[in-house]
């Protein structure tokens, strides 16, 4: 049995900063990591600080200390208004040095089995293999919220409906048009990557969370390159949807399929699911069971993603259905010999964008990250875009697929309160949850960034040490004292004056292409996911403009497609007095309409 003042479960970046900050405050700390390596995604292929979409002026503390050292050692990029970059192996070494300097003991391959409680207090944590850990305060810093769930804390998984919290961009979303690719094979079976069932109603709740993928590094450096060979599990039918999109001319180059990001001055590239792509590195629906399933099943799901990703790379390098220019783009790349050397050069972590989300003392929603942004118990200022990749893919009709779930909305600065990392007092009084923080899906889409989690982790570590010393509940921690300590450590708690850091360099970013009004309309109005808005869907979305439908429906088929609605937006720009002239015209024709 191991005793400590603070036990941190999860060696993610947020868990690392929690452990270091608690130790720095004088607490004895044990950090339990589930894999053989610390660092989560920051050492598993996510190699940038996201400050092309996040305000660098809000960062400080341990997060900045790590970033400065990791970037410097990696010969990374320091461009103002853009992301700073590092290399995964170097990042892990920096984290380990920081943990060692703080005196934090790290134990690996610690998989949670059960939790002991006395009333609302966790007394001990049991891991597989029989070891028991006791502490005054516990911190769950996993991406999944496993300790939180075992401790009986309320949580949610998936995406809430638009109605539940009154969120305009919540629930099922058909932001992008249906795609003219058949989703069936020659025998009428669904292709790999297409989910069964009808497209759910727009705005409804969904059990399917934001997508996952392997976020990996490749290199063109011959001295550091491991060839991409044909995987033993290769199944070309897993890439049939991609092949059809390529043959239809819908994907023009490699970067239209995969997000490929530079990594400073190195020849390495960071690969990611491309949010705007028809088909990319995610497997729609495969992420659904992750949060609640066993460690063994998670490993099987992770392997499925790895096999799919390896197969996609091989397909893009070799398949004759891939245009030669794309095969030529892929040809120079190989795995990085110096990364993840004990795992065949594959990242240790799957990119878990969201799993469980706590339902704590307060639940942050869309309003809290856009409008009601000031909180008295602020512990960090968030600012990232509201960012959700496609979550699901369905059959729109026999000749079409439709992707669902995407959000891409410019962020604002908003306060993340201490209450967002504390459970309800009636459920647990000695647990803090800085990663699976208390938020709706929409709000979580702007919180789910490693720099944000590192700041919340640092605050959690300080709060845990305070609660451990006083013997009080985590809910009773003196927030003013906590805030004063954060300010001492160089963590901003006030909103910076002026534009976001990335806006100073590049100006105000666009959320979409110029037709964003069209996308946003169909995301909410297209209730059945057929890529169009029927008369009834138009009337429901624009109840005071029912009379406009016939004017926009040029082919008179009773459906508005995106081209028709875009043409209408163009018409309005060309004729600023459109309302009066059109109203007069319709009145002359005997059509009644509202002013």
Going from N- to C-terminal start, the domains of the chain cover 2-157+354-506, 217-343, 532-588
Distance between CA atoms of 396 and 222, rounded to whole angstroms? Answer: 45
b (16+ CB within 10 A) / e for 391-408 = bbbbbbeeebbbbbbbbb
What is the pLDDT, as a whole number, of residue 271?
97
Are 491 and 380 in contact, with CB atoms under 8 Å apart?
A: yes
Tokens of 488: 């001492």
Q: What is the mean pLDDT of residues 185-197?
A: 96
Q: To which H or E segment does residue 392 belong?
A: strand 392-397
| SS3 state of residue 585 | helix
Are 288 and 216 in contact, with CB atoms under 8 Å apart?
A: no
Distance between CA atoms of 37 and 305, rounded to whole angstroms? Answer: 20
**356 bridge partner residues:** 157
Higher pLDDT, 359 or 566: 359
State the pLDDT confidence band at 514, using cuts at 50, 70 and 90: very low
Residues in contact with 424: Cβ distance below 8 Å, sequence separation at least 6, in sequence order? 153, 154, 359, 360, 361
State the pLDDT confidence band at 411, using cuts at 50, 70 and 90: confident
Are 355 and 349 in contact, with CB atoms under 8 Å apart?
A: no
pLDDT in tens, 451-489: 999 999 999 999 999 999 999 999 999 999 999 999 999
Distance between CA atoms of 254 and 331, rounded to whole angstroms? Answer: 11
Residues in contact with 130: Cβ distance below 8 Å, sequence separation at least 6, in sequence order? none
Residues in contact with 577: Cβ distance below 8 Å, sequence separation at least 6, in sequence order? none
What single string gives the DSSP state of each residue in 93-112?
HHHHHHHHHHT-EEE-S--E
b (16+ CB within 10 A) / e for 101-132 = ebebebeeebebeebebeebbbebbebeeeee
| SS3 state of residue 112 | strand
- In angstroms, how far is the first alpha carbon of the chain from the final one? 75
Cα angle for residues 275, 280, 284 (degrees, 5° grid): 85
- Percent of the chain at pLDDT > 90 equals 81
Helices and strands in the chain, H and E counts: 18, 22
What is the pLDDT, as a whole number, of residue 79?
54
Tokens of 249: 């001319």
Distance between CA atoms of 470 and 486, rounded to whole angstroms? Answer: 19
Judged against a pLDDT cut of 70, whether residue 594 lies above it is answered with no
Burial of 26 (0-12, 13-18, 19+ CB in 10 A): exposed
In 3D space, the residue among 403, 426, 453, 439 whose CA is nearest the CA of residue 152 turns out to be: 426
As its CATH architecture, domain 2-157+354-506 has: 3-Layer(bba) Sandwich (3.50)
Judged against a pLDDT cut of 60, whether residue 89 lies above it is answered with yes
Q: To which H or E segment does residue 409 belong?
A: strand 407-409
The region, left, alpha or beta by phi > 0 then psi within -120 to 50, assigned to residue 151 is alpha
Judged against a pLDDT cut of 50, whether residue 571 lies above it is answered with yes
Q: What is the mean pLDDT of residues 23-50?
A: 97
What is the pLDDT, as a whole number, of residue 587?
65
Average pLDDT value for the chain: 93
Higher pLDDT, 204 or 76: 204
What is the pLDDT, as a whole number, of residue 276?
86
Cα angle for residues 309, 396, 170 (degrees, 5° grid): 80
Judged against a pLDDT cut of 70, whether residue 327 lies above it is answered with yes
Name the pairing type of β-strands 132-140 and 2-9.
Answer: parallel
pLDDT in tens, 37-79: 999 999 999 999 999 899 999 999 999 999 999 999 997 665 5
Tokens of 111: 């998989």
Distance between CA atoms of 230 and 211, rounded to whole angstroms? Answer: 25
Highest-confidence segment of 84-88, 154-158, 396-400, 518-522: 154-158
Judged against a pLDDT cut of 80, whether residue 339 lies above it is answered with yes
Scan for tokens 């380990």, then name that residue: 96
Q: Rounded to whole angstroms, what are the CA distances from 472 to 30, 137, 438, 481?
A: 20, 10, 21, 14
């Amino acid at each position: 049995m191991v005793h400590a003042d603070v036990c941190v479960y999860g060696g993610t970046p947020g868990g690392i900063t929690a452990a270091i900050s608690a130790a720095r405050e004088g607490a004895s700390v044990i950090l339990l990591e589930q894999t053989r390596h610390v660092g989560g995604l920051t050492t598993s292929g996510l190699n940038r600080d996201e400050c092309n979409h996040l305000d660098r002026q809000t960062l400080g503390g341990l997060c900045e200390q790590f970033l400065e050292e990791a970037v410097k050692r990696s010969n990374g990029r320091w461009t103002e208004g853009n992301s700073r970059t590092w290399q995964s192996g170097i990042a892990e070494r920096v984290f380990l040095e920081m943990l060692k300097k703080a005196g934090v003991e790290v134990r690996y391959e610690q998989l949670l089995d059960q939790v002991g409680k006395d009333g609302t207090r966790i007394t001990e944590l049991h891991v597989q293999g029989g070891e028991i850990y006791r502490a005054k305060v516990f911190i769950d810093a996993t991406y999944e919220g496993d300790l939180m769930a075992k401790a009986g804390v309320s949580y949610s998984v998936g995406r809430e409906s638009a109605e539940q919290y009154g969120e305009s961009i919540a629930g099922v979303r058909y932001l992008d048009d249906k795609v003219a690719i058949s989703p069936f094979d020659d025998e009428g079976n669904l292709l790999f990557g297409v989910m069964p069932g009808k497209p759910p109603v727009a705005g409804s709740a969904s059990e399917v969370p934001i997508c996952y993928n392997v976020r990996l590094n490749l290199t063109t450096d011959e001295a550091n390159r491991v060839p991409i060979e044909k995987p033993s599990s290769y199944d070309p039918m897993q890439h049939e949807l991609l092949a059809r999109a390529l043959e239809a001319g819908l994907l023009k180059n490699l970067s239209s399929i995969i997000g490929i990001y530079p990594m400073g001055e190195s020849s390495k590239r960071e690969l990611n699911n491309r949010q705007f792509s028809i088909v990319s590195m995610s497997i729609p629906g495969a992420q659904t069971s992750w949060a609640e399933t066993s460690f063994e099943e998670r490993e099987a799901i992770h392997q499925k993603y790895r096999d799919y990703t390896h197969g996609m790379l091989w397909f893009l390098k070799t398949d004759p259905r891939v245009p030669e220019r794309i095969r030529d783009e892929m040809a120079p790349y190989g795995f990085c010999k110096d990364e993840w050397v004990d795992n065949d050069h594959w990242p240790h972590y799957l990119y878990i964008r969201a799993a469980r989300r706590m339902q704590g003392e307060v639940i942050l929603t869309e309003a809290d990250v856009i409008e009601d942004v000031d909180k008295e118990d602020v512990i960090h200022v968030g600012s990232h875009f509201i960012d959700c990749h496609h979550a699901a893919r369905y059959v729109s009709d026999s000749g079409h697929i439709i992707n669902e779930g995407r959000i891409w909305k410019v962020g604002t600065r908003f306060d993340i309160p201490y209450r967002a990392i504390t459970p309800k007092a009636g459920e647990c009084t000695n647990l803090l949850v800085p990663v699976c923080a208390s938020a709706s899906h929409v709000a979580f889409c702007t919180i789910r960034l490693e720099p944000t989690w590192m700041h919340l982790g640092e605050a959690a570590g300080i709060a845990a040490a305070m609660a451990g010393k006083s013997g009080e509940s985590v809910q009773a921690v003196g927030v003013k004292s906590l805030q004063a300590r954060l300010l001492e450590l160089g963590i901003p708690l006030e909103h910076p004056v002026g534009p976001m850091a990335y806006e100073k360099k590049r100006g105000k970013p666009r959320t979409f292409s110029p037709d964003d009004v069209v996308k946003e309309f169909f995301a909410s109005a297209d209730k059945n996911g057929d890529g169009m808005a029927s008369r009834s869907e138009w009337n429901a979305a624009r109840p005071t403009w029912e009379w406009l439908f016939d004017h926009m429906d040029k082919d008179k088929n009773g459906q508005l497609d995106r081209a028709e609605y875009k043409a209408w937006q163009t018409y309005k720009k060309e004729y600023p007095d459109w309302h009066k002239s059109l109203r007069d015209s319709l009145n002359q024709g005997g059509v009644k309409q509202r002013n």
